[in-house]
Structure formats: C-alpha cells, structure tokens
Structure 1
Amino acid sequence: MPASGAHEAQRVDSQGLCSGVRCICGGVELIYMTNLKDTSLGRRKTLRNRWTASFGVLVVIPFFLFWLAWTMEEAHAPGEVERWTVWFLAIFFPVTWWFLLKASFFTNIQIGEGVVVIRNLFSKTVIPAEQVSSVTWEGGVDVITRSGEKYWCFNLGGSLIGALAGYPTNRRCAREIEDYLESFESSKPAQSEDRVTTSLHLNILFLACSVLGARSALFLLELAFA
C-alpha cells in the first residue's frame, strides 16, 4: 500500500464498457468511471464546437426580438396587415433562424449505436464504427475510413483562434471519438453494417415549425389587438 499522501493513477477498462481513472491517495482508493456502454451499444452522444453553437444561438436572439417587435407593431396597427408583410414576417425571419442554426448548432458529430454520424449543412454521413481507421483533429476533425475516404464536419473545422489555442475543442472531440471506437471494438456485435451512407440533412421539421409558428403568432396577435 502506498504511503499517506502518495498518488497513483492508472487507466481502468472493464470489458470495453467502462473507462476511467483509479486514484490511490493516502491509502484510500477512488475510482472515477466513465460509462461508455451507452455510446457503444445505446443512445448517441453529440459532439460539437460549443463556442460556435453558442455564438449561433446568440446571433439568432436579436433577429427573434426584432421579428417579435415588428410582428406586434403590425398586429397593433389599425387596418389589415399588407400581404407582403405577412409573408415576409412568416418566411424571411424563420429561414434566417434556420440557416444560422444550421451553420452553428445543427452541424455536429454523433457517436453511438455502432456508427459515427457526421451532420453538415445539407448532408448527413453515417459511417459504421468498424470502418473508421483513424481520427485527426489538427485543422479540423476528420474521420478517415479504412478505404482512405476522409469526412469532415463544418462545425468542427479549423480557425485562426483555434490554431492559436491549440485546437482544444477539436482534440476533445477527436479523443471522444477514439474512446468510443475502442469501447465499440471490444463489444461490437457479430454482424454490423459496413457501408458508408450519405443522405440529406435539412432540418425541415424545424423550418416548417418556425414558419408555422411565425404565421400563427401574427394571426393570434391580430386577434388579441382587434
């Protein structure tokens, strides 16, 4: 047993399902475990640049407030709201919110359920975990398959600020992908999908709900101020 005050740390791995650090301090053993089973076999975990996502959300807020003020003014004004104003408020602003969030929040990488999913502006690529050969982070997070194909994520690209800081976000995401791949390798099912697929990623539901909500808000405010 180590002497009081001594420290010892080592990696813990239990059947590829959990990983963590065992620390021995003053004869007391503390084990900090990170459960990887959820991402290897269960629900997916989302990885994104939190700074970019937060910036996108903050930019949307003034657009939303401006839309709200304009909508309330039009609804409170006497007479019928002009048709072009109705459609401008119901389409332009929701499309603006949609695009800003597409570029900042809805683009990300998901890991779990035996796949690595890369969601970009208008496309979604599903890569089976067993087909991933390596992950790089310098200049942007790139997922490289065994066939040599390279897939990148818009939200986790390179930037001057990131380069000056040493790409901490990219390194964190790349490390989490690698940890997931290690846990999947030791617990993967006998049969799994081995084909990379690409499909559209448009977030149409969000856009449709935004347009419908904007149009409904104007209609309800008109009734309230009538």
Structure 2
Amino acid sequence: MCQVGTSKFEQVVTRKSSFAVFGVVVPLVFALMADPAVLAGDLVHDLVGVLLFPLILGAMVFTIWLVTWRSSIRATPDALSVYNALLVHEIPWKEIREIELEDGIKIVLKSGKRVGSVAYGGSLLGSITGYPSYKKAVQRLRAVREDYGQDPPKAAQASERTYFSFPWAAAAAWYLFFAIPGFIHLYF
C-alpha cells in the first residue's frame, strides 16, 4: 500500500505505508525506552551526558526518519519531486516522458534519464509479485500528471535539477525530542 495525501497547497505526497509506519513507530519505541531512563537519572548524570546522549540517539532516529518518512514522491502543479533522504530530484512536468513501474517506481525523463525513489525501490519479492503495493502510487502519480502536466504554470518552465537538502528543523526537533527529558532531570 501507499499513503497518498493532499494539502491545501495542491501538493500530492506519496509515501510507502510500511516506511511511514516504521518512521513513526521506531522513534516512539526509542522514546518510550530512553525517556524514562533519562528522567530517572540512569543514563545521563551531567551536562555532557545530557548534550551527547540525545545527539547519538537523535542522529539514529533522524536517519531512520530521513529514509522512511522524508523519502517520498511529491507532486505540485509545477513539478514532480522525488525525495531520497538528503537528495531531491525536482522534475518539471514537461520533462517527464513516463512514470513506470519496473524494478520499483522510476520517473523516465524525455532525455532518457531514469530517476528512482528510495521509498519505492526495487526488490526481489516485488519483482516476483509484480509490485502490487506500488501500483496504487503509480496510478495516482499518473493521474496527477494528467491534471498538473497539461497546462503547467510559467514557473514550471525550469529544467530538471538535483540538489542536496538537509532538513535542519527536523534534525533539531529530533535532538530536542531526546534532550528535553535530560534537561528536566538535570535541572528540576
């Protein structure tokens, strides 16, 4: 299955459901295990521990979040964007030849270049079964292409680009998520 959502900004986001669930459950499990131990004073005893422990745990959970939740395919009226952890492939609709399901979901550009998705990558089981869980995402992306790709706005006249995108706010949030209990223990 895939998770498909829309927002008031006319953005369609497609995520692999199992990745999305994993990206929420794992941080909660880490929090349920670590936070009580931190609050009880079992894991951190001084300011250095309060600063370093969430850095390590936050980095692990942030990495899981990058691969599971952030890795997605997003469609706007201007372009189709494939988020692969820290890399973003932004492809204007006019550049897309096909959205195909072969060894995972691939965006085929008119130039012949293929852009794959971490979330919807190939697998042995998927190739044997025909990727049944990816078919809904492909159908939705093709439908969105029909809606958005017919009359692209002037902003969509740009060309395809790939860039590095580090979500600083999310990294800070994960750090604080694990740091706050330590500060509570240490100072209250």
TM over 0.5, yes or no? yes
Question: Contact 1:72–1:218 (CA<8 Å) still a contact in 2?
Answer: yes
1:164 to 1:52, Cα distance in 2 relative to 1, 3 A: farther
Residues matched between the structures, number: 183
The answer for the alignment partner of 2:95 in structure 1 is: 131
Q: Distance in 1 between matches of 2:186 and 2:154?
A: 60
Q: Distance in 1 between matches of 2:40 and 2:177?
A: 17
Larger radius of gyration: 1
Q: Unmatched 5+ residue regions in structure 1? A: 1-37
- 1:1-226 paired onto structure 2 within 5 Å: 43-74=10-41, 81-189=45-153, 192-224=156-188
Q: Distance in 1 between matches of 2:161 and 2:123?
A: 28
Shift in Å, 1:83: 4.5
Identity of aligned residues (%): 17
Shift in Å, 1:217: 2.7
Shift in Å, 1:84: 4.3
Bigger relative CO (Cα 8 Å, ≥ 6 apart): 2
1:184 to 1:91, Cα distance in 2 relative to 1, 3 A: same
Q: Distance in 2 between matches of 1:208 and 1:115?
A: 28
Shift in Å, 1:164: 4.3
Question: Contact 1:108–1:153 (CA<8 Å) still a contact in 2?
Answer: yes
Length-normalised TM-score, structure 2: 0.85
Question: Contact 1:116–1:127 (CA<8 Å) still a contact in 2?
Answer: yes
* Residues 6-36 of structure 1: CA deviation (Å, up to 9, x unaligned): xxxxxxxxxxxxxxxxxxxxxxxxxxxxxxx
Shift in Å, 1:221: 2.9
1:109 to 1:130, Cα distance in 2 relative to 1, 3 A: same
Question: Contact 1:120–1:201 (CA<8 Å) still a contact in 2?
Answer: no
Question: Contact 2:81–2:90 (CA<8 Å) still a contact in 1?
Answer: yes
Kindly report the root-mean-square deviation, in angstroms, between the aligned alpha carbons of the 2 structures: 2.5
Question: Contact 1:46–1:109 (CA<8 Å) still a contact in 2?
Answer: yes
Question: Contact 1:126–1:197 (CA<8 Å) still a contact in 2?
Answer: yes
Aligned residue for 2:112, secondary structure, equals coil
Question: Contact 1:109–1:116 (CA<8 Å) still a contact in 2?
Answer: yes
Larger % of helix: which? 2
Shift in Å, 1:179: 1.3
Question: Contact 1:134–1:144 (CA<8 Å) still a contact in 2?
Answer: yes
Aligned residue for 2:70, secondary structure, equals coil
Length-normalised TM-score, structure 1: 0.72
